[in-house]
Structure 1
Amino acid sequence: MNAYERFRGRRLAVVESMLHDAFYNGIHRARDFGCEVWLLVRGEEWYTGGGPLAEHPLGRVDRVLHVDTHDWRAVVDALTDDDGKPLVDGVLSFSDYHTEATARAAEALGLPSQGLDAVRAANHKHLLRAALDGDPANVRWRLVTRAEELDEAIAHVGLPLVAKPPSEAISYGVRKCATREEAVEAWRELSGIRRSLRGQPRPGHVLVEEYAEGTEVSVESMTVDGVTHFFGATSKYLHKQTMLEEAHSFPVALAPGDWDALRSCVDRALRAIGYRQGPAHTEVMLTEAGPRVVEVNPRLPAHMISTMVTDVCGTDPHLDAKLLALGVEHVPDRAPGQGVAGGAAVVVLFPDESGEFLRVDGVAEAERLGVSVRFHHEPGDLVAERLDNSASVGFVYARAGTAEAALDTAREAAALIRIHTRRTAT
């Protein structure tokens, strides 16, 4: 029997969602296997931009519940019957801003959970740094809560350094600082952030970290009963000025010893925070002195990385994670070479300027190279309003015999595409 047939007859609650088709399609594939899916959202505008949810891919779930998803108690109340029993067989979230409330709700309901303390440590990056204390994969760091603490933090961490909000996502607010003056400016900017992108209150603290020089990758994994199974490593190409992720390929070709060291580093990090089960997208810098953990994300990756894992490894991380959340015994022990492609790659499409999305040229020419071009914005949308990974408008996706060949094709195709925007009045 196909392992995914075990979805049939089960009910899963999904708390909010990350954006883009990979996450929407993951929900619908579970429904195709007979899983009933309830979606809990605080507001629809985050996904629809003001349009009706019924016309959005998320609107095709079995039931939509409007709940204060910032409050775990509200999530529990929405998923509990009059006798105090859970109405669902599992609950999960891939939204960075809701994984913690979801883990707490799951534990209150007596349902499978990634582990509340683990999710909290991953989401609040200073807690991850504290959990990794003494591990060679950690970096020097300080949590700066007042301006008077900044100079000591700079002296401890050294320059250049990275300043970031400790509890944000999608690279929001990440700043590389080469001088004290740049660090002071980053503090002034980031300490003013008192609400998350989804509206949760923030204290204005700033995490200051040692800048690790090297090659950044991410490691895609699935943990089952505290044992982590590794799919492989994903390359990450960053824009030199903005530090935004502009391309990925999978799997990264590493020497066996380097892969062993990388896998061990991530395994130690997940064990350090007590991660019980579920997907993890762990970002690591490969330095001359060894791997250094950048951050742990207790969710599936964005930017079509999970699609690359599916095509290369022959398993579906979206379905794997949902089965685990439902309490189904399932070990997705797959590796590169077991899928339909030897390698895959994605190039992220960004507009040159923010503003109103007008049109795109060159898509037909790009697709003649055998790639798939996908957009998550439409003409008329306002795009690139913030300097973070949400500034993208689409992806170019390619498969080939190797990750390197796929990336070459995706880059060649992306170079043919022109995104036209019009500046809007501010």
Structure 2
Amino acid sequence: MSPAPLADYSALAGRSIALVEHMLHHPYVLGVRQAQAAGARITLLVRDQEWYTHGRSWAEAPLSVVDEVVHVDTNDVDAVRSVVSGPDGRPRYDAVTTFSDYHTEVAATVAQQLGLPGPSPHALRQANQKHLLRAAFGPDEGNLRSALVATREEALEAGDTLGYPLIAKPPAEAISYGVRRVDYADQLVRAFADLAGYTSSLRGQPRTGEVLLEEYVEGVEVSVESMSFDGTTHIYGVTSKDLFGDPYYIECGHTFPVALPDDSRAELYGVVRRALACIGYDYGPCHTEVRLTDRGWRLIEANPRTPSSCMTMLVTDVTGRSPILDAWLLALGEVPAVEPVTWTGGAAVRMLYPASAGALQRVEGVDEARSDPDVQVLLHVDEGEQLMARMDNSSCVGFTYATGDDVETAAAIADRAAAKLTFVAV
């Protein structure tokens, strides 16, 4: 099946966008290229270039396609403002934004200080700090009971109150880092001791070592991809979220769009819109994870950015609208025509993980996997690179991506391609 044609993004022509860090892998490089093709100029602000290159030269890094790279402490608001504004204090770029979970508040604060469009930094903080979102969502029926704990004793007391099983996680992280299920008190003690040692984020920002405990709920999990502006959260659709499950909740695949009965879809969208409204998040993209339980839809997390793991490609190929480009239009003060949404066919992605840790020797089956014209094999590891055991999404080594006349066809194509690949490591 041919993907839906890309919408008109000519409003990006002649505009300059400063990205305070970026996301890795093919979909985000594709977004840069599409924006450049529409006439935009993209500048990437980085704190640690090695995070993108993994020991290779910058010219070999996929994100080297950006028009300019500026080195600056991207964790420092004043430092970022100094490089995106001129001597007169006026902005040097038409937009300052990011899709990096760790830098949304910095980018939004700088944009606000320079009078550029962007989301509320306060709203972003409440979304990024998961315990603050839980507190703000309060008694809403879509919320889950939770507790933020700072000591072993508080953790055990919260475990007794919430009941087992429960979920333990860092209150502010990404890529499912540290998330685990806890079934009894001794396991909680070990989980707390591990998570309390997280005193800095994966991008070097300080963390308190506190641990967020949440009640565990069974059910099918999905994500809702949205863009908020003009007083409305506009929704592209629902993405499946396939997980490996206990004890680490790691994503293994996605399909788009998920078919739901009208009443269930309305309830789901209501939970998402109420959650974003309660924190005042009314300007920008969001990837909201929600689980269908026997009591209805329950909020898992709201991530104020576009989704990762090729989900932006799923949405783009089915709807013709790119969440990445739409978010950049919004950062420029332009209004993206998100709705009405039209779905054409389906798309699927499967995330690839090595069977074991070690230095990658070779990848077998690539040519065979790519033999289907409807599949893309997108690898982001090279021979000799150290592979990690599967513990969170950072150990993903690539994707198989497919489109089809419907989601079932696309999923079958992506699954067949994934089954043909073997990552040999020693």
Does the TM-score normalized on the shorter chain lie above 0.5? yes
After TM superposition, the score normalised by the length of structure 1 is 0.95
Task: Check 1:108–1:386 CA distance in 2 against 1; reply closer, same or farther (3 A cut).
Answer: farther
Structure 2 residue corresponding to 1:393, chosen from 387, 393, 397: 397
Question: 1:256 matched to which residue of 2?
Answer: 262
Secondary structure class of the residue paired with 2:102: coil
Deviations along 1:127-157, one digit per CA (max 9) or x if unpaired, are 1101100111100100001222112211221
Question: 1:231 matched to which residue of 2?
Answer: 236
Structure 1 contact 124–167 (Cα < 8 Å) conserved: yes
Task: Check 1:240–1:385 CA distance in 2 against 1; reply closer, same or farther (3 A cut).
Answer: closer
Question: 2:359 matched to which residue of 1?
Answer: 356
Deviations along 1:245-278, one digit per CA (max 9) or x if unpaired, are 0011111111111111101110111111111211
CA distance in 2, matches of 1:336, 1:304: 19
Question: 1:366 matched to which residue of 2?
Answer: 369
CA distance in 1, matches of 2:20, 2:395: 23
CA distance in 2, matches of 1:43, 1:183: 35
Structure 1 contact 162–177 (Cα < 8 Å) conserved: yes
Structure 1 contact 232–336 (Cα < 8 Å) conserved: no
Secondary structure class of the residue paired with 2:401: strand
Structure 2 gaps, min length 5: 1-6
Structure 1 contact 313–335 (Cα < 8 Å) conserved: yes
Structure 2 residue corresponding to 1:204, chosen from 206, 209, 230: 209
User: Which aligned segments of 4 or more residues in structure 1 are displaced greater than 3 angstroms?
Assistant: none
Structure 1 contact 376–393 (Cα < 8 Å) conserved: yes
- The alpha carbon displacement at 1:187 in A equals 0.2
Question: 1:185 matched to which residue of 2?
Answer: 190
Question: 1:319 matched to which residue of 2?
Answer: 325
The answer on 1:376 being equivalent to 2:380 is: yes
Output the amino acid matched with 1:159. Answer: Y
CA distance in 2, matches of 1:388, 1:269: 26
CA distance in 2, matches of 1:117, 1:104: 9
Deviations along 1:50-93, one digit per CA (max 9) or x if unpaired, are 22223323222222110100011111111111111111111111
Question: 1:305 matched to which residue of 2?
Answer: 311
After TM superposition, the score normalised by the length of structure 2 is 0.95
Question: 2:415 matched to which residue of 1?
Answer: 411
Deviations along 1:350-381, one digit per CA (max 9) or x if unpaired, are 00111111111112222233321110111111
- The alpha carbon displacement at 1:384 in A equals 1.8
Secondary structure class of the residue paired with 1:197: coil
Secondary structure class of the residue paired with 2:236: strand
The answer on 1:103 being equivalent to 2:108 is: yes
**Greater shift after overlay, 46-55 or 387-396?**
46-55
Q: What is the percent sequence identity of the aligned residues?
A: 48
- The alpha carbon displacement at 1:110 in A equals 1.0
**Greater shift after overlay, 84-93 or 322-331?**
322-331
Root-mean-square deviation (Å): 1.3
CA distance in 2, matches of 1:240, 1:8: 44
CA distance in 2, matches of 1:50, 1:174: 28
CA distance in 2, matches of 1:190, 1:123: 17
Question: 1:288 matched to which residue of 2?
Answer: 294
Structure 1 residue corresponding to 2:89, chosen from 84, 93, 96: 84
Secondary structure class of the residue paired with 1:234: strand
Output the amino acid matched with 1:361. Answer: E
Structure 1 contact 140–156 (Cα < 8 Å) conserved: no
Deviations along 1:220-257, one digit per CA (max 9) or x if unpaired, are 11111331111111111111343210011111111111
Q: How many residues align?
A: 418
